[in-house]
Structure 1
């Protein structure tokens, strides 16, 4: 602030104004005070920071100053502001050993660098460390104090109040929410801020927090690692508790997103904060108690964790499997607070173990008498040994007096516990990162260029680019978001016999590896909740076994489902299948619906009973036809054989033999040749057979007409014409069959539609027109033959066989008329059997009706086998 001296004439003017405007007495008194201040400083213009000065809790001068913000206290005294006077400074309470340890880690690193001849030679590092008292407002306030300083700076009347920043980098803060507030305030000044424990992924946003860096991985990676860890153990139904701040809310939001992608559901997700009223904490406990999941994933700060486990202990709620973050999973103080062993068996992620040589000895070598300039050491010593120094402002007569020479080696508390050495190591690496950047800027070799004007922006740019190894061999660098490489150890809480928790490393997580190799668990036995060696089960439903699929329950999360058996023809061969997979058409699902088995191929074979019976019937018909042919050949000179053109009779017997034999082509596995042969052979042989019967029928009619006076019908239908008619009728069928085979012949076909679990091997017709043309032509000849035979059935000669042909045609037509619906409705191989039966039945009908009566006369009634008897007249009989 620049203040100028006001001349005396100004006083007169103001006095005149005050008189004419009649100011109040108080206003006039205030104005007089201001004028007096102006007169007193007129000769010495200065720039002064407005407000009360902030005195650091730890400080040391040096060539270059580093700042530090840690919470040396966990709470503060509440006060009621009346707004009648300026608020008093925040009074912090409840000394925090962890915050003091972080500060000691920073001091150790600075001391080590100052004693080094390789890093910043000839340059001494100083420090100013403030107590944030877990208050965001105080954190911002002390950050501004680090940036501005409290010194009074003289300034010429014509120059503004400008000077370099008081500190070149700030170490801290510990938690995410204060870091967000502080980084927002100091970001425009480009002062580097390096946190050791703030993990919120939101801090990676360089547009909002341009000067923020950290030596601990972002929760962006930790959330993913937690989700993969939960998935690894098959936990798909979990509860979630988070701290109601930026750390908890952002971390749990990322975990929830990744968990959903991995098929993990949250039964509940609640937030808590240390200042929540008891009824809200009670609702959280009731929700945990009512839940079915026994696995709880946490994004909790230690303070909120203590609140939850204390409440759970009061309700005697144990047996929950806790999954934690680095905030508490490796903290022995958390284990010490858990007196009821609620957290036993907990598993979670921790910063990889580290051991910095000399740091533990440095921390345990604290002597308040050697640090008299820093009051914080005095309070630390008093809290550690529960005593008071005589010169202490808070000393009372009820406590023993501190000597300053108490033995620290015999103390067992959170300060002497070095389980958080990885976090202390993060503070150590942050200080070294700033030192290495300064080393480069000052062009240090054996000496440093002290004339370089340090600029926070330049320091920030160099810190982002640094890449060095610590004396322990760990590589330190930052990515474009100011984050270090993400590596975690997987820690399991294993209680020992004496009740002390042993933090056992059981695995590793490395985000730099491929996704399938990031999480690795070592071959170590894990202890789970209630000291169980068995992995807890955390599912809304039991897994759906192979052969079933998941069906979501209405109104419930995706992890709650029913298991439905796969439909016929579908399978699922994995656990928790979402859908069932349909089998290939040649396969079918087994009884358990977990595998596709090859469908049974069905066709009419010789091995099965039906195929064997039909084969026997065909061979028997062939044998009968052969016997009849032998009889006719043996008695070929007898009148009954010669009466109806013996050549047509033998040709008919030959065609019947072919009809019986062609039925065999329908039996057996269909092939390309058998499919073409079976229908064409059947069509041609039956036309040949019907043509012969038709010829015989015409012969009967012509013979009767020839007996009439003046008739010469027989000369028009003699033996030659009979043979030509048979040949002509047959050739027509041959042409139809040739056209059919040429255009679209029958072919073997696998029918998957008639039966679900069988493959019907059949012969596809190819051209349906060809098939029905063949059958239609046979039917046409059969109907013509039947009509002619029917007309000739009552002719008077014993010689007349028209009535036997009529019977045979009647059977033939009846068989093939009933064949059509039976063929169409019969499934699978039965349709082939129906066709074979129709062929055999019609063939047997022709054989029996036409030839058996003649064989009967030839063999059993030879006396009737005479020309006289054949020419005799008989009384016609009606049918």
Structure 2
């Protein structure tokens, strides 16, 4: 009761009235509301934002303020007012709806200003002017109901004021009555639950809509949501589409079965290579080891051990250093292997030609020249990798390109041009080595290392040619597993094809580990 009394006092303070000499109540102040009026038995009030701005007045409280001036006509909201007028006219023309009753209206322009919205509400509460003093200044409100402002904050303010006088008000799927705000249940469609969004039906009332489920990767976490919200990059939506959860991050780890198998195979290859290295060192003075430059053989074994070990860098969570190491180490170490094999192949060809009279060609490709060839060929790859690392090095990257629900944690190569330059250079040396070894395959049977090199390079090239389509078609961590498998397979191919026959002779055919057997009868006689 206290609250109602205060608001009534404010009402008459805001719009004071006075008694005239004619015995009627008149309002003080300016009647500067812009409105549309039509008389009727029942008057409906309307408050709309027909203009968007109000020219500010000089409120010094020393002189009476000037009348309000609204600017920037807003045609969209003016259509709301026209819609209300059209609806009232249609009702009046249909005698079956309200027989013997005519509806009228008073529609005010609030000019997007909360104070004008409240002033319009006061106008509605003050009755018609010229009321007799027989019942001194006690008036009934001018309007019986109000169609409220399109702004929710203004509508709530108006509803609080007119609710005291039990005047209903409608504004937005909201109904204000007796100072209470309720949401009437839609008779056309049920509310949309979280995980779905509202989709209005064309040509039907706003209370008629469809509830569409949010698409994959988007959610709605409230009832009657009008839009779905996208989950962040590293999150995905659950099946109910009402919340986001972190995506699973996938990479080839040491803890999974595939990673364990590849690490075991890599360590096995390293141990086998180390065993062959030890065997060659123990029998370094035998003809089999000394033939064809034992120094290149030891260097090739060290390079193969590094090949097996560098495959392990492809396993585990990618980091800046692991991404740099796995690509550059792989490129340099494999070129070192191919350079050693190419030098050994050239030595075989030169040695065979040197067996013929008047050929002193070996002096042009002795141990010094062989070492220099390996260094120069490897330095070219080192130069390519240096440019690669200085311009755009490999880096770890999280990607959702392969699957929406999984984040692939992988190493991006950085500069694609430098990556293919390093790969192309390795492939070029492999092709040259294969061609030279293939041309030397017709050497005498005891000079069979060329055949072994030919077969090893055939396996090497076949593995990497097969690797390209398999790598491209494999998603995520499986692409890394294919690359590791190619490294291990080609390394085992080189190791077994080149060194297994020599180890067999050293360990099980010691009678053939002689200079006469290696050079052959014809070669021995010539020498």
TM-score, with structure 2 as normaliser: 0.71
2:70 is aligned to none
CA distance in 2, matches of 1:699, 1:705: 10
Mark the structure with the bigger radius of gyration: 1
CA distance in 2, matches of 1:761, 1:870: 53
CA distance in 2, matches of 1:428, 1:692: 120
Q: 1:848 to 1:588 in 2, by over 3 A?
A: same
Q: CA offsets, 1:52-111, max 9 Å, x none?
A: xxxxxxxxxxxxxxxxxxxxxxxxxxxxxxxxxxxxxxxxxxxxxxxxxxxxxxxxxxxx
CA distance in 2, matches of 1:597, 1:654: 48
Q: CA offsets, 1:796-838, max 9 Å, x none?
A: 0414301010011001111111222222222111221121111
Task: Give ranges in structure 1 of 5+ residues lacking alignment.
Answer: 1-119, 126-164, 172-191, 195-202, 210-243, 262-267, 283-298, 302-349, 352-421, 435-482, 493-507, 510-516, 527-534, 875-879
- Contact (CA 8 Å) 1:643, 1:799: kept in 2 or not? no
State which of 25, 29, 45 in structure 2 corresponds to 1:251: 45
Task: Give ranges in structure 2 of 5+ residues lacking alignment.
Answer: 1-17, 50-75, 81-86, 106-123, 140-157, 170-175, 523-527
State which of 117, 140, 163 in structure 2 corresponds to 1:488: 163
Give the C-alpha shift of residue 205 in structure 1.
Answer: 4.2
Q: CA offsets, 1:687-734, max 9 Å, x none?
A: 111111111101100110110011111111111111111111111111
State which of 400, 407, 418 in structure 2 corresponds to 1:752: 400
SS at match of 1:545: coil
Q: 1:860 to 1:430 in 2, by over 3 A?
A: farther
- Contact (CA 8 Å) 1:789, 1:806: kept in 2 or not? yes
SS at match of 1:650: helix
1:700 is aligned to 348
Q: 1:763 to 1:428 in 2, by over 3 A?
A: farther
After TM superposition, the structure 1 = structure 2 runs for residues 219-618 of structure 1, keeping only pairs within 5 Å, are: 246=40, 248=42, 250-251=44-45, 279-280=96-97, 431=136, 486-489=161-164, 537-618=185-266
CA distance in 1, matches of 2:488, 2:205: 67
Q: 1:592 to 1:638 in 2, by over 3 A?
A: same
Q: 1:208 to 1:488 in 2, by over 3 A?
A: closer
1:531 is aligned to none
Q: 1:796 to 1:580 in 2, by over 3 A?
A: same
Greater shift, 805-814 or 825-834, is seen at 825-834
Say if 2:454 is the partner of 1:806. yes
1:716 is aligned to 364
CA distance in 2, matches of 1:557, 1:684: 71
The Cα RMSD (Å) is 4.1
Say if 2:410 is the partner of 1:762. yes
- Contact (CA 8 Å) 2:163, 2:180: kept in 1 or not? no
Q: 1:703 to 1:193 in 2, by over 3 A?
A: closer
Q: CA offsets, 1:212-254, max 9 Å, x none?
A: xxxxxxxxxxxxxxxxxxxxxxxxxxxxxxxx96475643787
2:68 is aligned to none
Q: Figure out how many residues of one structure are paired with residues of the other and give that number.
A: 423
Give the C-alpha shift of residue 489 in structure 1.
Answer: 3.0
Say if 2:475 is the partner of 1:621. no
CA distance in 2, matches of 1:767, 1:636: 44
Q: 1:428 to 1:649 in 2, by over 3 A?
A: farther
Q: CA offsets, 1:291-318, max 9 Å, x none?
A: xxxxxxxx999xxxxxxxxxxxxxxxxx
2:22 is aligned to 168
CA distance in 2, matches of 1:207, 1:794: 109
1:691 is aligned to 339
Q: CA offsets, 1:109-152, max 9 Å, x none?
A: xxxxxxxxxxx9xxxx9xxxxxxxxxxxxxxxxxxxxxxxxxxx
CA distance in 2, matches of 1:601, 1:554: 43
Q: 1:208 to 1:751 in 2, by over 3 A?
A: closer
After TM superposition, the structure 1 = structure 2 runs for residues 149-188 of structure 1, keeping only pairs within 5 Å, are: 167-170=21-24
> Which one has a larger percent helix, Structure 1 or Structure 2?
2
Give the C-alpha shift of residue 204 in structure 1.
Answer: 7.7
Give the C-alpha shift of residue 624 in structure 1.
Answer: 1.1
CA distance in 1, matches of 2:88, 2:282: 105
- Select the structure with the greater relative contact order (CA < 8 A; seq sep ≥ 6): 2
Give the C-alpha shift of residue 760 in structure 1.
Answer: 1.4
CA distance in 1, matches of 2:41, 2:368: 112
Q: 1:543 to 1:710 in 2, by over 3 A?
A: same
Say if 2:325 is the partner of 1:677. yes
Give the C-alpha shift of residue 659 in structure 1.
Answer: 0.5
